[in-house]
Amino acid sequence: MITGGRKLEGTLAISGAKNAALPLIAATLLTGDTLELRNVPELADVVSMMRLVQRLGVASTYLPGEPGRVAFHCQELLSTTAPYDLVRKMRASVLVLGPLLARGGEAIVSMPGGCAIGTRPIDLHLSGMERLGAIIELSQGYVTARAPAGGLKGARIELTQPSVGATENLLMAAATAKGTTTIIGAAREPEIVDLALLLSSMGAAIEGAGTSTITIEGVAQLHGAVHSIMPDRIEAGTYVMAAGITGGRLHITGGDLGLLGGAREKLEEAGLQFTDTADGFAVSVASEGLRGTDVMTRPYPGFPTDLQAQFMALMCNAEGASMITETIFENRFMHVPELARMGAQITIHGGSALVRGQGARGTTLRGAPVMATDLRASVSLVLAALAAEGETEINRIYHLDRGYEHLEQKLQAVGACVERIP
């Protein structure tokens, strides 16, 4: 339950990145030594991934000291099957495919579930594993992958599109494959760089992470390491827009402006201004207010699809119209009918949405009962509610818990009137 109309002001800390934590947890399957991850966020998706690797043989222990320190130890694989009851909850579960194949020589993984934002097929994961020598079979909703007798072998893999998940899966599979693997057309997201940093600290030989060509020299085995998870750039971008839509000013600690990629330029174009600080950055709205700004989602370093719904909410309070074009996922406008219930004026034309901002005429968003449909759509409704007149009731907030750590506490601390209703 959110009562809108309050400017957000104060200091807000950014948590560890969900999209980095999930592949890092999958990587704990690759070694019999202990891996310590720091800055692990408390999120439903992280819990789901920890339960999955636990089923496969990974013991995890929360360590004393700062929050988010977890020790993982997989002395031996207890299973090479990732069952439907765990995988159906989260698409990122398919990231255990590469580590299981590399260490166990076999992986039986249920076809993944997750957000209802598009098909997101795993063809690129499977064709890449086949290039490394794996034999793939699909049957009754499961992928069965088996390594050849001598183990996986390095290969040249060309991705037809820069899939983040496929790049991560292939990085983990190739780390101990015999010979050299080159991934052409790799995704460039910072989360892939974070995974490469962990694998390198475990003894892997990786060059080019963060570029479109990654080279991996296979090593015989990987060892333990300590690694701190990068800050969540999507969470940071979301709270930047929370400051913008309420006309407030936030000091974001633990965030890195450089990780926003192409989003920073568009946010500045829309009227937000940034100032670097010793421990992060500050954000506020320029004196002229928010301006309608066109965006098109692109792979990193372009404008992220994971910030598209939030940007649409921001543009509802801008002066002038904006065209938002989604090129990554075909079903990622499911928040539009819910925003319309709050008074937003949005028209969809295929893969684009025309937003008629009402900033010059004062806030037109009004509180209403709305329903979250997926993770990022749900937080766009939170942003709209923070700026709306009156009360907004947001249902199905379990989507929020998948990707935003302590959301209501963080917002309350900077002046929002928000309450979780049991």
Kindly list the catalytic residues: 115
396 is in an annotated binding site: no
Which secondary structure element, helix H or strand E, spans residue 52, and what is its range?
helix 44-56
Fill in the amino acid letter for 311. F
Phi, psi of 126 (to 5 degrees): -70, -45
120 is in an annotated binding site: yes
The residue count of the chain comes to 422
Which secondary structure element, helix H or strand E, spans residue 124, and what is its range?
helix 123-131
306 is in an annotated binding site: yes
183 is in an annotated binding site: no
397 is in an annotated binding site: no
188 is in an annotated binding site: no
19 is in an annotated binding site: yes
Sign of CA dihedral 138, 139, 142, 147: negative
Residues near 144 by Cβ (< 8 Å), separated by ≥ 6? 106, 107, 108, 136, 137, 138
121 is in an annotated binding site: yes
In angstroms, the CA 383 to CA 95 distance is: 31
294 is in an annotated binding site: no
3-state secondary structure 165-218: HHHHHHHHHHCCCECEEEEECCCCCHHHHHHHHHHHHCCCEEECECECEEEEEC
CA distances from 340 to 115, 266, 370 (A): 21, 23, 10
124 is in an annotated binding site: yes
DSSP strand pairing (295-296 vs 280-285):
unpaired
Binding residues, by number, are 18-19, 91, 120-124, 306, 328
Binding residues for UDP-N-acetyl-alpha-D-glucosamine, by number, are 91, 120-124, 306, 328
Binding residues for phosphoenolpyruvate, by number, are 18-19
